Amino acid sequence: MSGLELIAAILGTAAVWLTVKQNAWCWPVGLVMVLIYGWLFFDVKLYSGMLLQGAYAVLQLYGWWQWKRPDRAEDARVVSHLSRRAVFTGLALGLVLSIALGAAMAYWTDAVLPWLDATLTGFSLVAQVWMAQKRVQCWPLWVVIDVVYVGQYLHQQLYFTAGFFALLTLIAVRGWLEWRHDPALRATGVQP
């Protein structure tokens, strides 16, 4: 399984790097990666993570549409900030989803680390939606999530994936720095 895990990690690294660079190819590359990880997480009983990959597959298509909108190029997404209220609302939704999914996984499955896996899943969905919408706040949320994922994957002996998430943490920091200085933000008068 480690060969498939390595392929998924390489694809994931490419997808996130392309995201930082605002290259729409991040979405189809990411789609292949999440399909592979969905299979891997099922195999190691990280069911919330497996479900997350299914949601990511849908969000990969949503992100591609949001970034490209082929029918109207002028409507394509640009980097922007969320309001404080939107950040609070997104994080609250992530918490509610985490609790509901954690309870379901703890009581109805043989999931490993059901509460941690569910919490990471809930907040990852929030970060992924924000990324698809090109919201700067996706990156600091990804930094926190990725650091915790490193520990979870080390615990599960998914070493390529743990290394991948350590690398994702560094790429997320880079994404945060680059998106904060994007010309679209300067055009709106919002300071990084």
Q: What is the mean predicted confidence (pLDDT) over 26-55?
A: 91
Average pLDDT over residues 35-51: 90
pLDDT above 90: percentage of residues in the chain:
65
Residue 29 lies in a domain: yes
Q: What sign does the dihedral 32-16-188-140 (CA atoms) show?
A: positive
User: What residue type is assigned to position 27 of the chain?
Assistant: W
Residue 37 in any domain: the answer is: yes
Confidence of residue 192 (pLDDT cuts 50, 70, 90): very low
Mean pLDDT of the chain, nearest integer: 89
- Number of structural domains, the chain? 1
Residues facing residue 135 across a β-bridge? 80
**Residue carrying the six token digits 């930082």:** 20
Q: 28 in a domain, yes or no?
A: yes
> How far apart are the C-alpha atoms of 105 and 99, rounded to whole Å?
10
For residues 151 and 130, is the Cβ–Cβ distance under 8 A? Answer: no
Q: Averaging pLDDT over each range in 22-26, 67-71, 74-78, 90-94, which range is the top one?
A: 90-94
Nearest to 32 by CA among 53, 48, 63, 47: 53
The verdict on residue 40 lying in a domain is yes
Q: Is residue 127 part of a domain?
A: yes
Looking up tokens 């609790």 gives 99
Question: Residue 114 domain-assigned?
Answer: yes
Express each pLDDT in 119-153 by its tens digit. 999 999 999 999 988 999 999 999 999 999 999 99
State the pLDDT at residue 12.
92
Distance CA 20, CA 29 (A): 14
Dist. CA 143–CA 13, nearest whole Å: 14
Quick one: pLDDT band at residue 160, thresholds 50, 70, 90? Answer: confident
Domain hosting residue 58, numbered range: 2-187
The fraction of the chain above a pLDDT of 70, given in percent, is 92
Contacts of 33 (CB under 8 A, 6+ apart): 8, 11, 12, 15
Residue 155 belongs to some domain of the structure: yes
Residue 192 lies inside a defined structural domain of this protein: no
